[in-house]
Amino acid sequence: SDQQPEFEEEGAEAAEQEDADDEGINLHSYPIRCSFSFTKEGSFVIDNISYYSDAKVGTELTAEADWKRRGFYLGPQFDTLDVSLQDEFDKFMQERGINETLAYFVPEYAEYKEQKEYVSWLTNVKSFVEA
């Protein structure tokens, strides 16, 4: 089954902005929400790329921000874009570490995290039942 985690670029952008601030350079930071589907091990598919002029709309995990996001244009399906534009987005993502290494890491980490949460849940239920 397809997994569709969403990644925010804010970590990479924040690091670049901090480096630029240290050097006295002003970089523009744009919140971009990307939706990826991991269809086979070591690869991913970009479904669409949305642009938000307000970073809070793109990054806040609130019902209000989610409602606002639903009112914005999601962007075209990625695979319908001109191939040269797709290539440029691919280079953009590669430069920020969104690559095959990440495509291998995310499902493995998701499985690890799920197992860790499950073990924690079992421990908590056991403590409750034994109390």
pLDDT digits (tens, 9 = 90+) for 39-79: 666 667 777 788 888 878 878 889 998 898 888 888 888 88
Average pLDDT, whole number, for the chain?
75
> Please, which residues have CB within 8 angstroms of residue 57's CB and are 6 or more apart in sequence?
31, 65, 68, 69, 72
- Strand-pair partners of 51: 32
Task: Tell me what the mean pLDDT of segment 22-45 comes to.
Answer: 57
Task: Tell me what the mean pLDDT of segment 11-36 comes to.
Answer: 49
* Full set of structural domains in the chain with CATH: 6-101 (3.10.280.10)
What pLDDT band is residue 123 in, cutting at 50, 70 and 90? very high
What pLDDT band is residue 17 in, cutting at 50, 70 and 90? very low
Task: Tell me what the mean pLDDT of segment 98-126 comes to.
Answer: 90
Q: Is the pLDDT of residue 117 over 60?
A: yes
Phi, psi values for residue 39, rounded to 5°: -95, -25
Distance in angstroms (rounded) separating the CA atoms of residues 7 and 34: 6
Q: pTM for this structure?
A: 0.53
Place of tokens 């269809």: 39
Place of tokens 């995310």: 106
Q: In what order do the strands lie in the sheet with 43-51?
A: 6-8, 32-40, 43-51
Give the pairing type, strands 32-40 and 6-8: antiparallel
